[in-house]
Amino acid sequence: MTRIERPAAGHETTIDSAGAPWRLAADESSAVVRLTGVLEPAGVPAVRDALLIRLCQRPGPVVADLTDLRVADPATRSVFADVQREVADWPAAGLLVCDPGADRLDPALAGVPVLPDLDAAMDALARSPMAAVLSADLAPAVGSARQARELVTDGCVRWGVPALAEAGGIAITELVNNVVAHAGTPMTVRVAPDGDALHLAVRDHSTHPPAFAGPASPTSIGGRGLLLVDALADRWGSTPLPDGKLVWCVLAPSA
């Protein structure tokens, strides 16, 4: 069971798995998360969950500092590549790894930037463009879809992709309405650009996976759910989390 302790703002968050020999600690004001102890194969799913939760909490790239983590089996390092692939299409998310003991050509870390020490990792982070992102915490209420659409429209104007505002508004409406109708939990909406594409995500606290609900009447308002998202998006998906899920989609100019 993964446990998360969230102290007051400005203090350290700790995440661990009961009885496990590893620990993850993160300062709320920092992009760095520190993993310490021993990572064994049995601990990989919990580490994956802990990193995904952290990436949900904080937009922008995150540095996983493995300086004080001993990896019992080199193959377990693939969890960091798995996390990087999982968040690749999330709005404003990414993972860098600081691991003095890793071979940067290790296939287990394919696709993950690996830095030899924390100074190098922070330099790489500083050279990264500042993440352009908008987010909002919304209640599971009908009016939340309107607030989410306004967020998307504002972002599209700011980031110079106004042509995606209509499709983005439709897609985010369906994602939010799915939470209102089926999850019934508070949610976080996140919107970010990537070149000329638009990335959208809605994170809720229901572990039930999203599913197509079937076609709706042509005269109905809403109710089409992921059918519309699938029709509009270049790609979309869902990431399961210990306490819910994150559903994301990417809209390209062709939308």
pLDDT at position 153 over 90: yes
Average pLDDT, the chain: 88
3-state SS track over 2-48: EEEECCCCCCEEEEEECCCCEEEEEECCCCEEEEEEEECHHHHHHHH
pLDDT of residue 4: 37
Give the ranges where the chain is alpha helix by DSSP (H): 44-57, 78-87, 118-127, 144-158, 165-178, 226-232
**Token pair belonging to 169:** 């508004």
pLDDT of residue 255: 59
Q: What is the pTM of this model?
A: 0.87
Q: How far apart (Å, rounded) are the C-alpha atoms in residues 166 and 145? A: 14
pLDDT of residue 18: 61
pLDDT of residue 3: 40
Give the pLDDT confidence of 118-140 residue by residue, as tens digits.
Answer: 999 999 988 887 779 999 999 99
Across residues 157-170, what is the average pLDDT?
Answer: 96
pLDDT at position 219 over 50: no
Give the pLDDT confidence of 31-81 residue by residue, as tens digits.
Answer: 999 999 999 999 999 999 999 999 999 899 999 999 999 998 989 999 999
Percent composition of the chain: helix, strand, coil (DSSP 3-state, to 5): 35, 30, 35
pLDDT of residue 27: 81
Percent of the chain with pLDDT over 70: 86
Domains of the chain, start order: 2-127 (3.30.750.24), 134-251 (3.30.565.10)
pLDDT of residue 28: 79
pLDDT of residue 81: 96
